[in-house]
Chains A and B, each alone.
Chain A
Amino acid sequence: MATETTAATEGAQGAAEAAGNGGEAVGMPQLDFSTFGNQIFWLVVTLVAIYIVLSRVALPRIAAVLAERQGTITNDLAAAEELKLQAVKAEEAYNQALAEARAEANRIVADAKVEIKADLDVAIAKADAQIAAKSAESEKAIAEIRASAMDSIKVVAKDTAKEIVAALGGKADAKAITSAVTTRLKG
């Protein structure tokens, strides 16, 4: 396949001759018109072949793939939007449930407070009554004690007065002393 160029002669004529002589490029092989028919024929065959392949198989397929992908993306986005809505709804429901639970808890706490208050009032009333009873009892006891103390004082005062009178040399009149002491004590 050894080909050699002698760049001496140029132009289409020379090239045509050279090509005819078995593969020596003289000048520009591009201008060798004897090969034009061949090239154009095979070019047309090639282009028609490519066109048929593209228009029958390749382009519809790629278009379909691209459309399908676009569809998938759109669907996925829609699904994502749907899920997002659901999530928002779920959150709302959760918040509502939480609020309800709070209200319920508050109500229970209030009820419990009222109940406890009622119990407490009863207990306080009971305690007050007990305290009142106790203090009444105590007062009574104190009054008794005071009364008994008074009597004791009377006796002691009478006795003391009798003794003092006796010591002073007088004869004590028991009745007079008693009245005197009583008057004094009342004083």
Chain B
Amino acid sequence: MATETEAPSGLQIHPMDQFLVKPLFGGDAINFYTPTNVTFWMALSVLCVIGLLVIGTRGRAIVPNRIQSIAELAYGFVYKMVEDVAGKDGLKYFPYIMTLFIFIVFANFLGLIPMAFTTTSHIAVTATMALAVFFFVTILGIVKNGFGFLSLFWISAAPLVLRPILAIIEVISYFVRPVSHSIRLAGNMMAGHAVIKVFAGFAGVLGVGAIAPVAAITAVYALEVLVSFIQAYVFAILTCVYLKDALHPHH
């Protein structure tokens, strides 16, 4: 919710202001319970989820209306993704993955509204989700497979000589997962929004003649719409992949 006041001195672009976490009702202190713009935009995403998946489907129609169609499409999309990637026994965890996916989708798209705050552009948010996924699948893998979970790192298809080296690489890549998982999403969201803001700053300086920056903003915005969905999809499908590794660690 960063508004810009052009300083009389000229070019003043504040692309990062939009990511500031601010208390909703004034004051300076940000305790963990303080209602902030994070709270506001997350609450909006919850309302959107309820609007789409609960109010949109209240007709329970055999022949669905538009909103119900979208809700069913989202359901079928994630359900099929979980089934295809994680397998039949992964469907038990479908509600968790659906929760993550639908939250990220709505957070991303709400962040595209001008003046909005993008909750998923914050590493704190995405890292929390990525770590939750990481610990969840790791514990699940150990509980389900016990010691056999370690066979995830021991690639029996490779020549015996290479296996220890591959095991080291596999272990490293396994622990890097939450990092890439979270930074991918936050980085994508942050970069796109910052770029839009930079172009918006140019447009602000150029005034009425700002055709090029406005065209650029339009293009980047279109790209961001695409990225918003794709990143949610990537986050969800990676979660499914990790889940599959936990359920079936044998390559």
Given contacts A19-B20, A23-B20, A62-B53, contact A51 B3 (CB under 8 A): no
A1, A34, A35, A63 interface centre (most CB from chain B within 10 Å): A35
Q: Which residues of A contact B46 (CB under 8 A)?
A: 46, 49-50, 53
B7 interface residue per 8 A CB criterion: yes
B20, B95, B121 interface centre (most CB from chain A within 10 Å): B20
Contact (Cβ within 8 A) B33 A41: yes
Contact (Cβ within 8 A) A39 B95: no
Q: Mark B116-133, 1 if CB is under 8 A from A, else 0.
A: 000101111100110000
**Contact count A vs B, C-beta below 8 Å:** 170
Q: Which residues of B contact A4 (CB under 8 A)?
A: 5, 7, 12, 14, 17
Q: Which residue of A lies closest to B190 (CB)?
A: A30
Contact (Cβ within 8 A) A66 B16: no
Closest chain A CB from B208 CB (angstroms) = 22
Q: Which residues of A contact B2 (CB under 8 A)?
A: 3, 25
Interface size class of A (residues with CB under 8 A): 35 or more
Contact (Cβ within 8 A) B60 A32: no
Contact (Cβ within 8 A) B53 A3: no
Contact (Cβ within 8 A) B95 A59: yes
Q: Mark A143-187, 1 if CB is under 8 A from B, else 0.
A: 000000000000000000000000000000000000000000000
Bound: A95/B76 CA distance, A: 49
Q: Which residues of B contact A64 (CB under 8 A)?
A: 60
Contact (Cβ within 8 A) A1 B124: no
Given contacts A32-B21, A66-B72, A69-B62, contact A40 B57 (CB under 8 A): no
Contact (Cβ within 8 A) A30 B129: no
Contact (Cβ within 8 A) B28 A22: yes
Contact (Cβ within 8 A) A25 B30: no
Contact (Cβ within 8 A) A43 B128: yes
User: SS class of chain B's interface: helix, strand, loop or mixed?
Assistant: helix
Q: Which residues of A contact B96 (CB under 8 A)?
A: 51
Q: Which residues of B contact A31 (CB under 8 A)?
A: 123
Q: Which residue of A lies closest to B16 (CB)?
A: A25
**Residue of B15, B72, B95 touching A65 (CB-CB under 8 A):** B72
User: SS class of chain A's interface: helix, strand, loop or mixed?
Assistant: helix
Q: Which residue of A lies closest to B46 (CB)?
A: A49
Bound: A39/B43 CA distance, A: 12
B232 interface residue per 8 A CB criterion: no
Contact (Cβ within 8 A) B12 A47: no
Q: Which residues of B contact A30 (CB under 8 A)?
A: 19, 121-124, 186, 190
A61 interface residue per 8 A CB criterion: yes
Interface residues of B (CB under 8 A from A): 1-5, 7, 12-17, 19-22, 28, 30-34, 36, 38-39, 42-43, 45-46, 49-50, 53-54, 57, 60-62, 64, 68, 71-72, 75-76, 94-96, 98-100, 102-103, 119, 121-125, 128-129, 186, 190
In addition to A29-B20, A39-B128, A53-B50, 12 A-B residue pairs with Cβ atoms within 8 Å of each other are: A3-B14, A4-B7, A5-B12, A30-B186, A38-B38, A46-B45, A47-B100, A54-B49, A57-B53, A59-B94, A62-B71, A65-B61
Which 6 residue pairs across A and B have the least CB separation, nearest first?
A5-B14, A58-B53, A37-B32, A35-B21, A46-B42, A29-B19
Interface residues of A (CB under 8 A from B): 1-5, 7, 19-25, 27-32, 34-47, 49-51, 53-55, 57-59, 61-66, 68-69, 72
